[in-house]
Amino acid sequence: MNALNTNPATPWGTIREQFPILDQQVHGQPLIYFDNAATSQKPRAVIETLRHYYECDNSNVHRGMHELSARATVAFEAARARLARYLGAASEEEIIFTKGTTEAINLVANTWGPANLKAGDVILLTEMEHHSNLVPWQLLARRTGAKLRFVPINDDHELALEKLESLLTPEVKLFSFVHISNSLGTINPAAELCRRARERGIVTLVDAAQSAGHAPLNVAEIGCDFLALSGHKMCGPTGIGLLYGRSEILADLPPWEGGGEMILSVRYKESTWKPAPHRFEAGTPNIAGAIALGAAAEYLDQIGREAIFAHDRHLAGYAYEKMAAIPGIRLLGPPAGSTARSGVISFVLRDAHAHDVVTLADQRGLALRGGHHCTQPLMRKLGLASSARASFYFYNTEAEIDRMVEILSEIERFFR
């Protein structure tokens, strides 16, 4: 795709005004928010949805017999249907609300995992996984005797796909991988990876935390069995996310947490469960969060995810070229112009540690992230203790990138 293929008809300037938080000064300078991979900002439409819910409709769902409960239940289930549509799921029953990506992955590791894995089986991951798509599998491996195996990355910081064939052995029962790496910005070919796993009967899980709000995402086209995402990285509130599970696979899964909401009938010594998705939603859910996440999905689709994706990549391409001219900088991730580059750019300055860079950038109103980005094994492999990261979203501008490059140049000169 042409990186400049951003729709000129999209009113990006007006869209930026829909994010009240962006209009402020930090340390006396206009805020430049480039920490979108950590969490996105929220448009007025989402904030209004939360306010309206609490001011007008707040009630518990699914069991109340009164008007407010009916309204809350309708809105909650409508959000589930909206998100099913957002992901191209076959039915809203394939959408399980969770706290976020981490809980969604843990749900699979704690239900599908013990029911399907035995000692000697292999869980295939990649070397670029976030801790949230690594540690749950380590725990599961310890519990079941299964082993972990990793698809390596190459010098371009992309997956070494030529090695995949030899890794997909009969012992592999699950392939769980990140769609867009939060620390390298690499976009992995999710549909191809799922197709090759599926040909061997391997169950697939896609960690879509970084892609859900940034790129077109359709589970039917990707062909995955599970997909996990976090609402707060796609204009929604914190504390809400979801697990998509193909209906055939959810039908056989045992429950994870027990409690109210998830049961059909309870006796003192045994109970029966509801079908998915409610079987996996014990206790009062994050009702307001789910409804607001539905509003976020609606908001993003109104702008258009193709347009958002193109805009992200345009900004990243623009930034990459300008940042590359800073003396002593090392840019991580796929090379310039690669179709595997997203709107995330991690970098290292030769003479300045990432934390010093982030502290000084903050003094200029520029919000970056520094550290290992919850990918410690990857950083170790790259021989880095930490890196700084700029991650863009559709409300960011070229002018902000120009200012970032000025600030980084000032920091580089200071530490040289």
Partner 1 sequence: MNFDELYQELILDHSRRPRNNGEIEGEGIIHVHGDNPSCGDEINLHVRFGPEKVEEIRFTGHGCAISQASASMMTLKLKGKKHDEAAHLLRLFHDRVAPEASSSSEDDPGPMELGDLNVLGGVRKFPQRVKCAMLAWRAFEQALQEREAGTEGASPESQRRVSTEEAD
Cα–Cα distances (Å) from 170 to 124, 197, 200, 220, 308, in that order, read 11, 11, 8, 25, 39
CA distance 346 to 369: 9
Based on the residue annotation, tell me whether 374 is a catalytic residue of this protein. Answer: yes
Return the HEC string of 313-328: HHHHHHHHHHHCCCCC
- Kindly state the tokens that stand for 314: 């345009």
CB 360, min distance to partner 1, A: 5
Q: Which residue number, 284 or 363, has a Cβ lying nearer to partner 1?
A: 363
Which sign does the torsion angle of CA 90, 242, 44, 41 carry? negative
Instruction: Please give the DSSP secondary-structure letter assigned to residue 278.
Output: G
Cα distance between residue 82 and residue 59, in whole Å? 20
Beta bridge partners of 177: 206
Residue 189 or 371: which CB sits closer to partner 1?
Answer: 371
What's the rounded Cα separation, in Å, for the pair 345 and 340?
Answer: 12
Tokens standing for residue 2: 């042409």
Tell me how far, at minimum, the Cβ of 348 lies from partner 1, in Å: 12
Alpha helices, DSSP H, located in 124-189:
135-144, 164-167
CB of 139 to partner 1, least distance (A): 15
CA distance 240 to 228: 11
> Least distance from C-beta 400 to partner 1, angstroms?
20
* 243, 107 Cβ separation under 8 angstroms: yes
CB nearer to partner 1: pick between 368 and 379: 379
- Give dist(CA 32, CA 56) in Å, integer: 35
Least CB distance to partner 1 at residue 178 (A): 18
Instruction: Tell how strand 25-26 and strand 147-151 pair up.
Output: unpaired
Specify whether the CB–CB gap between 241 and 99 falls below 8 A: yes
Q: Of 5 and 359, which CB lies nearer to partner 1 in the complex structure?
A: 359
Query: Closest Cα to residue 100, out of 39, 191, 183?
Result: 39
- Catalytic residue from among 194, 224, 235, 374: 374
Q: Considering the complex, state which of residue 111 and residue 387 has its C-beta at the smaller distance from partner 1.
A: 387
Q: Residues interacting with partner 1, by CB under 8 A?
A: 27, 352-356, 359-360, 363, 370-372, 374, 376, 379, 385-386, 410-411, 414-415
The residue with tokens 């027990």 is 258
Quote the CA–CA distance of 375 and 373 in Å, as a whole number: 5
Of the pair 16, 372, the CB lying nearest partner 1 is at: 372
Q: What's the min distance (Å) between Cβ of 332 and partner 1?
A: 15
Strand pairing class (226-230; 203-207): parallel
Nearer to partner 1 among residue 273 and residue 415 (C-beta): 415
- Rounded Cα distance, 119 and 32, in Å: 50
Closest separation between CB of residue 359 and partner 1, Å?
6
Residues assigned a catalytic role: 374
